[in-house]
Chains A and B, each alone.
Chain A
């Protein structure tokens, strides 16, 4: 969040986390408290720059006295509550959520998915070879970025970033219902026919790699994408006076994607088309 000075200090809330007393500022979530205490709770739909939609449910924890589990990413800490992050019950739900996702969606580019699947002993294959999947072909309809919804976990982050939380463009929304729900522009149109302005702010928040730069998509398809070989350089966008931060990801002396630091107090990782995609001139060597 934007650092605003001169706010009155926030009240501290005290509650028990896995049996230990912890104190967090008022308004903090259980996840904030977990992270402050060095506990690793898996998250997918939570985003550091977005209001939690708490849709994926991989972060659930047990709140004493509650009928159901609570999403750590959005449930605010309340004084006196007793939270357990690692009970059999919470671990069971996390495991099943990972199984349900991994059996329906391609998680190969979701950071940490593989690690969590191991940690929770999830067995997505037990639903059988016939288990229904997203079954979407990548949508390659423009030169800038690709929408590979076979990897989409429907976390709503791109929709929120494109709409009221950041970009205010509203080019995409969730269409359909239930298992048939998909992220789509109106009439499922190609991006060039939609309201999209190619700010790429949806790519910035996508937790699965479903949205990726065309350059990344092509390199991956060719088997040449290699983060080990990449350097990241954070610089200032030269186009206008706002001065957004750009992080250039460079592989083999070519810019392969552009991100923006989420902790920038002005832009929170958001850019416009010029900063996000307007780097070709840098690579123009003739």
Chain B
């Protein structure tokens, strides 16, 4: 490499400390220390060993952002020297993520969700109020800056906002939901003084009811206490796993009929089996906790409410697939989930439930949390690999598939949080008992993220097969006159209020021409301006496209432009643009590299065809 570092950009002491706290002090002038003399004068340091640490680039960027609030040229240059990363590449990575800024900005950033559920619950008023209190979005005022944000995963408490103040030893964060202009502005001025968040179980209206499987411990077991978790039957599943052996675990999971809950509905047993069989080593396990699909917040509630369950489930998955290292890729905007899971991992490690010899069974496994930094696309399973490896979070083309060549080019199983937590009950009760719930094609229970115009928004757990109407009834019914229900998130589709008999199963939604996706069920009532909602969806995809392939990079822009043109039009006046949307949408679906571009037009199409918007 012809590495050329900046001759002028210098890190401040604070920036240097932020990086050194993560990486340790530099050894010599070769990696950013003071000068080269004595022993270090003649021998170049760095090379392959330093490049092998490229995966620390993203944690390094976070360390700087957490402490300073932005990434100065001097700070980036120093991080590059420490890791032997070409500065152009680091700049490309830093500018990929929306939580980072390479331009100076105040230490406090307030993100106000303007996405679907929040828009339906008054985010526009919050924004208008903030303009009065703090000035326009993006302009610093009183040591803070506010900006609109895609869904923050707090939809049950819409409208939501998240304030983060960079500083030492850790950034101060404030989750404000439901937000008013007043509480949001106060959080921007003093995030450390914001009222504490409600307990995680407040997002689970069914908390404590019998019959819950995935949510049974949320609200009944202390999420901080490993002893409490064990006293409620925790780690029985892992013991059973050790008794069954890896192949036995995979057999149970396959027989249980578990399929992935991250959106693609792939059979988990098959994925694990394919990973376990790969002769290449090491194998990796990744838990996908990036949860950025607008309207989705189930993984957050699981991680906040029952963190040890995920730690145990990841250990089992690692054991079954032959991995000794697991990564938990956590959405960057989830401060409480981060704290809870990190604490749970540390406790588990201290008690021998992670580490060199898990439960004294001679199996080594550990979990490392990697934080995302504001990029929906990084939830795509191959984009996660690039993100963890310190590259831009762009999807890779398949084949090769992750089970063959995944993280660091090694066999990797990627699973969603909810998918993994299901494994506990499969092992505790056995595959047959697990599969007795639900339908033949969709076994077990499902978490639904209910938001919008319903009496009791939140996470609901119901057996597969419940109808849409049944679910909404459990959530207390609709408030107002329903106009549409969004199933599966922005990558899913709208259905009409007269379609409440759709069975909520993978096969049932497919037969009805829609999808379960990540379990989003968002009710929009008649007060909602649908063309505006569609415009927001198009804006989301335009913002979140990684930019790699033409159909998605430019197609999402052209779709947004067309939806803007017809936002107040109907009938013949909208027909040309609808035809244009269809043509572009078809090419996006057919020719995009990854699921983002392939599904970006789904919701808008369903709104046109099923709801008859613009008629």
Contacts and interface: CB of A to CB of B under 8 A. Distances in A.
A118 B21 CA distance: 59
Nearest to B541: A178
Contacts of B87: 185-187, 195
A173 B92 contact: yes
Interface stretch (B109-117, B218-226, B317-325, B582-590): B582-590
B86 A177 contact: no
A81 to B, nearest CB: 12
Contacts of A219: none
Contacts of B551: 57, 93, 96-97, 100
B1 A169 contact: yes
B516 to A, nearest CB: 18
A104 B558 CA distance: 10
Contacts of A169: 1-2
Contact of B550 (A68, A101, A171, A173): A101
A69 B591 contact: yes
A36 B249 CA distance: 49
A116 interface: no
B593 interface: yes
Contacts of A57: 549-551, 591-593
Contacts of B6: 186
A108 B383 CA distance: 33
Contacts of A178: 542-547, 553, 556
A267 interface: no
A127 B2 contact: no
The size class of the interface chain A forms with chain B is 35 or more
Contacts of B91: 173, 175, 184-188
Interface in B532-552: 542-551
Interface in B1-50: 1-4, 6
B304 to A, nearest CB: 29
Contacts of B546: 177-178, 181
Contacts of A126: 580
B543 A69 contact: no
B137 interface: no
Contacts of A195: 2-4, 86-88
B556 A100 contact: no
B92 A184 contact: yes
Contacts of A181: 546-547, 553
Interface string B372-411: 0001000000000000000010000100000000000000
Nearest to B577: A128
A227 interface: no
B86 A54 contact: no
B545 A55 contact: no
B202 interface: no
B543 A56 contact: no
A156 B548 CA distance: 9
Contact of B545 (A89, A132, A179): A179
Q: Most chain-B CB neighbours within 10 Å: which of A57, A127, A197?
A: A57
A170 B561 contact: no
Contacts of A172: 88
A110 interface: no
B574 interface: no
A283 B491 CA distance: 60
B557 interface: yes
Contacts of B397: 54, 71, 74
Interface in A45-69: 54-58, 60, 68-69
Nearest to B593: A54
A206 interface: no
Contacts of A212: none
B2 A128 contact: no
Contacts of B561: 127-128, 130-132
Contact of A173 (B86, B98, B558, B592): B86
Contacts of A186: 6, 73, 76-77, 86-88, 90-91
B366 to A, nearest CB: 30
B591 A60 contact: yes
B555 interface: yes
A180 interface: yes
B89 interface: yes
A92 B2 contact: no
A259 interface: no
Contacts of A211: none
A219 B173 CA distance: 57
Most B CB contacts (10 A, CB to CB) among A169, A170, A194 go to A170
Nearest to A78: B399
Interface in B545-603: 545-551, 553-558, 561, 565, 580, 583-584, 586-587, 589-593, 598
Nearest to B73: A187
B540 to A, nearest CB: 11
B557 A179 contact: yes
Contacts of B543: 178
A179 B556 CA distance: 9
A159 to B, nearest CB: 9
Contacts of B247: none
B555 A100 contact: yes
B102 interface: yes
A168 interface: yes
Interface string A142-181: 0000000000011010000001000011111111111111
B95 interface: yes
Given A96-B555, A168-B1, A195-B3, A176 B96 contact: yes
A103 interface: yes
Contact of B547 (A58, A97, A127, A174): A174
A93 B589 CA distance: 9
B596 to A, nearest CB: 10
A176 B547 contact: yes
Contact of B2 (A89, A101, A171, A175): A171
Contact of B549 (A56, A128, A187): A56
A126 B558 CA distance: 10
A71 B591 CA distance: 8
In order of increasing CB-CB distance, the 3 nearest A-B pairs are: A170-B86, A96-B587, A186-B87
Interface of B: 1-4, 6, 73, 76-77, 86-92, 95-96, 98, 102, 375, 392, 397, 542-551, 553-558, 561, 565, 580, 583-584, 586-587, 589-593, 598
Given A57-B593, A101-B554, A170-B3, 15 more contacts: A54-B397, A55-B549, A71-B397, A89-B590, A93-B590, A93-B591, A154-B548, A173-B89, A175-B92, A178-B543, A179-B545, A185-B91, A186-B76, A194-B4, A197-B2
29 contacts: A54-B593, A55-B548, A55-B549, A58-B550, A68-B598, A92-B583, A93-B551, A93-B586, A96-B583, A96-B584, A97-B550, A100-B550, A100-B584, A103-B554, A104-B554, A126-B580, A131-B558, A171-B2, A171-B88, A172-B88, A174-B392, A177-B95, A178-B544, A178-B545, A178-B546, A179-B553, A180-B547, A184-B91, A186-B91
